[in-house]
Amino acid sequence: MDINKILSEMTLEEKAEMCSGSSFWYTQSVERLGVPAVMMCDGPHGLRKQKGAADHLGINESIETVSYPTGPALAASFDRDVLRKLGEAIGEECQAENVAMLLGPGVNIKRSPLCGRNFEYFSEDPYLTGELAASFVESLQEKGVAACVKHYAGNEQETLRMSSDTIVDERTLHEIYLSPFEATVKKGKARSIMSSYNAINGSFVAECKKMLTDVLREKWGFDGFVVTDWGGVQDRVKGLRAGLDLEMPGGNPDAAVRIVKAVQDGTLEESVLDKAVLNMLTFVKRSITKRQPDTNIDRDANLKLAAELEKECAVLLKNDNAMLPIKKSSKVAYIGEFAKKPRYQGSGSSYINVPNLVGAYDAANNLSITYAQGFRANDSETDATLLDEAIKVAKESDVAVLFVGLPNSYESEGLDRSHIDMPANQNILINAIATVQPNTIVVMHTGSPVTMPWIDKVSAVLCVYLGGANVGTATNALLFGDANPSGKVAESWPIRLEDTSAYLNFPGHEGVVEYREGIYVGYRYYDKKRMDMLFPFGHGLSYTKFSYSDLKVSNSKISDEDEITVTCKVKNVGDVPGKEAVQLYIGNPQDGVQRPVRELRDFAKVSLKPGEEKQVSFTLGKRAFAYYEPKINDWNMETGTYTIDIGASSRDIRLSVAIEVESTTELPIVFTRNTPMAYLQKTAKGRALAEQMTAKRQQAQSDSSASDHLGEGSKEMVEAMVREAPLKFMCSFGGVSIEQLDAMIEMLNS
Ligand code: GLC
């Protein structure tokens, strides 16, 4: 398929039509030139392929298949291999179903636990999100299926998402919200990016050149194609100029007509249109060449895989007195509707048609378990009969396991949460059971954090998040010790909603949402404010214990071009095999540029038998120590003393070592008459001038008794006032003329 030849033979109308879909899920074909239409479908945690009526909200029927653990569960694995395995499985299914692109992963950041779509996204941390998403993208694309990373960008809420304007400062935008996309482009080589519905700082992303060309293509080297979210186009011609290649869904004839008209009347250069068409033809060509039509999939094997992955994702949040694992000889009660019909995925475009959902009760067929419904998931009212029955069953058992969580109506695409509480009837049930049964365990099915007013009354909490179609099998294995939980929460669990950093600015007002918390999202905020929480980022327990030792660094001083190798040892000091998500944080200097206390910069999942010890190795470059500096539109590593902190969570740092960083980057400063004197120290010329002035001032002081306007003041006060005095003070107090001052400023800025 010679795409340049095809382009040269296409009519203007055919080119214009190529920039819109031909239907809800297909690109445009050009039959006479042998260009087929290719299909794209949602993900991100299963294949939602609609054969009949189509929609982007999970309403119409899609093929029966397997759904896997969703975003927060996958992220809790802290395991790149888990995401690779998922990408392979879904990639094969796409090949078997002749789907050329999966609309996923979703990498928006969990700015607030209130976002209705958090169940679909990974984390509050951009590094973890980017690394895991890049692993998924790589393995999906190795199967010849394009990934379409979404929703680029600034779409961290559902409220008014299709028209809202995200107001965010440049540093926060890059450091927190863009860097996951950057990782999927640079590391994952993503073939497609989905532009979000919303605007950023007044400019709709779907027609924003800065986002779609300057950042995405020129800065990051993206060479794929950009597709709108469904119905997310703004001005189609302006979008083409900005770097938007494809409008979806298809079926809007006006788009092509307007593109043709714009080319004909000279307001759109045909070369711009040709670039978009070439991007689309490249995608179609790659889909054809990488097509594997004889791919067969075994949905039974995939259902087993779903359980295997969930075993790596579930998080043991609490386990007092080693309540878990449960002895198989125990008399166990499974209480709660979710024991039979677990919530395992979220509503909306990611909704997978699962014919054989496996709940824990039905999957526990070889164990003696009594069931009581306890509550109705689609109701928040307590049913006294169900409650009484559950209490009776709990009393008669050795252990009561409560299967609870958020019903579908509490979190979904298109709708944000207004609180983070569980349904009242479930909280009442949990309290009632814990009152009569000291051995009470809670299994939590949720797509995002919830408050736990009963946390001190229960012995253990296992969070399975939304664990996919086979969550029941995985839950049983974890509860009875056939598998050892190793997940760690990829988001902070606050004690109450009011503690969250976005609380005062979510979801904004009349479609404008200001990210006023800046970079202080999630643990970055709680650590800076030294706040307590229910469970900190990176927290997760195991049925065994791990010790950390022997932290070593290849060099204790680095500069911009250097790399540093960090090693440490992790040992399983318990008596069952387990896996540990070892986290590497960089502790930032707190006396320079505003920085979070520490930031996750690498992680590794280590599998250890009892008594086994392994060395873990990390390699860090400048980016690990850097923040995004708008003055240079790039990442900057500031000179100072940092620490490398190895942790079992963000609040459980086991090893730490200081690292001296010497930056060779001099940030540009434009001096003015009001630039503080202290800023002279930031440039070579400024330092030279400061030295001259100091010598002069000392000479002047020895000639005359010092008189000043400061009166009696502390040494600190005087130093501060001199340091922060604007350069123009040299005219008022240093005998310098305004012309001399301006000449100095010109020299400094030259
Ligand atoms: C939806 C979602 C997007 C999805 C698309 C197609 O509106 O925002 O994630 O991929 O439309 O269903």
- Complete DSSP assignment for 170-193: HHHIIIIIIHHHHHHHHTT--SEE
Write out the H or E segment, with its range, that includes residue 731.
helix 729-733
Torsion of CA 300, 303, 304, 306, to 10 degrees: 160
Looking from the CA of residue 161, the nearest atom of ligand 1 is 8
Please tell me the distance between residue 556's alpha carbon and the centre of ligand 1 in angstroms.
47
Q: Which residue has the tokens 């068409």?
A: 277
Ligand 1 nearest-atom number relative to CA 43: 10
Residue 77: per-residue pLDDT: 98
The backbone region for 313, taken as left when phi is positive above 0, alpha when psi lies in -120 to 50, beta otherwise, is alpha
The pLDDT value given to residue 633: 96
Q: Where in the chain is the domain with CATH 3.40.50.1700?
A: 302-529
The span from the CA of 108 to the CA of 149, in Å, is 10
Whole-number Å distance, alpha carbon 439 to ligand 1 midpoint, is 43
What is the per-residue DSSP string for 397-419? SSEEEEEEE--GGGSBTTB--S-
Per-residue DSSP letter, 128: H
Q: Which of 39, 42, 158 to mutate to test the pocket of ligand 1 (most atoms within 8 A of CB)?
A: 42
Atom of ligand 1 nearest to the CA of 197: 8
78 C-alpha vs ligand 1 centroid, how far in Å? 26
pLDDT for the residue 692: 83
Q: Which of 119, 159, 230 to mutate to test the pocket of ligand 1 (most atoms within 8 A of CB)?
A: 230
User: pLDDT tens for residues 33-54?
Assistant: 999 999 999 989 999 999 777 8
Q: Whose CA is nearest to atom 4 of ligand 1?
A: 349
Q: Quote the radius of gyration of the chain (alpha carbons, Å).
A: 29
Ligand 1 test: best mutation among 163, 229, 246, 350, most atoms within 8 Å of CB? 229
* Closest residue to atom 9 of ligand 1, CA basis: 349
| Rounded Cα gap, residues 369 and 358, in angstroms | 16
Q: Which residues of the chain have pLDDT under 70?
A: 697, 699-712
Give the residue, by CA position, lying nearest to ligand 1 atom 12.
56
E strands along 38-145, which residues? Answer: 40-42, 101-103
Specify burial of residue 666 (Cβ count, 10 A radius: 0-12, 13-18, 19+): exposed
**What does the pLDDT read at residue 706?**
46
Residue extent(s) of CATH 2.60.40.10 domains in the chain: 546-662
| Residue 104 CB contacts under 8 Å (≥ 6 apart), including other chains | 42, 43, 44, 45, 136, 147, 148, 149, 150, 350
Position in ligand 1 atom list of the atom nearest CA 150: 9
Ligand 1 center from residue 412 Cα (angstroms): 12
For atom 6 of ligand 1, the residue with the nearest CA is 56
pLDDT tens digits, one per residue of 205-228 = 999 999 999 999 999 999 999 999
Q: Which of 125, 229, 527, 645 does the annotation list as catalytic?
A: 229
Beta-sheet strands, E only, within 87-153: 101-103, 146-152
Q: 248: CA distance to ligand 1 center in Å?
A: 10
Q: How many residues does the chain have?
A: 750
Of 26, 56, 57, best ligand 1 pocket probe by most atoms within 8 Å of the beta carbon: 56
Distance (Å, rounded) from C-alpha 336 to C-alpha 402? 6
User: Which atom of ligand 1 is the closest one to the Cα of 103?
Assistant: 10
Question: Which superfamily does 302-529 belong to?
Answer: Glycoside hydrolase family 3 C-terminal domain (3.40.50.1700)
591 is catalytic: no
Tell me, in angstroms, the distance from the centre of ligand 1 to residue 106's CA.
10
Q: What's this model's pTM, rounded to 2 decimal places?
A: 0.96
Residue nearest (by alpha carbon) to ligand 1 atom 2: 349
How many whole angstroms from its chain centre is CA 702? 61
What is the structure's pLDDT at 730? Answer: 87
C-alpha 214 to ligand 1 mean position (Å): 25
Write out the DSSP string of 707-721: --SS-S--HHHHHHH
CA-closest candidate to residue 511, choices 263, 73, 204: 204
Q: How many CB atoms lie within 10 A of CB 396?
A: 12
Atom of ligand 1 nearest to the CA of 104: 10
Atom of ligand 1 at shortest range from CA of 249: 6
Q: How far is the CA of 249 from the centre of ligand 1 (A)?
A: 10
Q: Residue 532 carries which side chain, given as an amino acid letter?
A: D
229 Cα to the center of ligand 1, angstroms: 6
Q: Can you tell me the distance from the alpha carbon of 334 to that of 373, in angstroms, rounded to the nearest whole number? A: 8
Give the binding-site residues of ligand 1, using a 6 Å CB cut-off.
Answer: 42, 56, 103, 150, 229-230, 349
* Nearest residue by C-alpha to atom 8 in ligand 1: 229
User: Domain 546-662 is classified in which CATH homologous superfamily?
Assistant: Immunoglobulins (2.60.40.10)
Q: Angle at Cα 369 formed by Cα 365 and Cα 371, nearest 5°?
A: 110
Contact status, residue 166 vs residue 113, Cβ threshold 8 Å: no
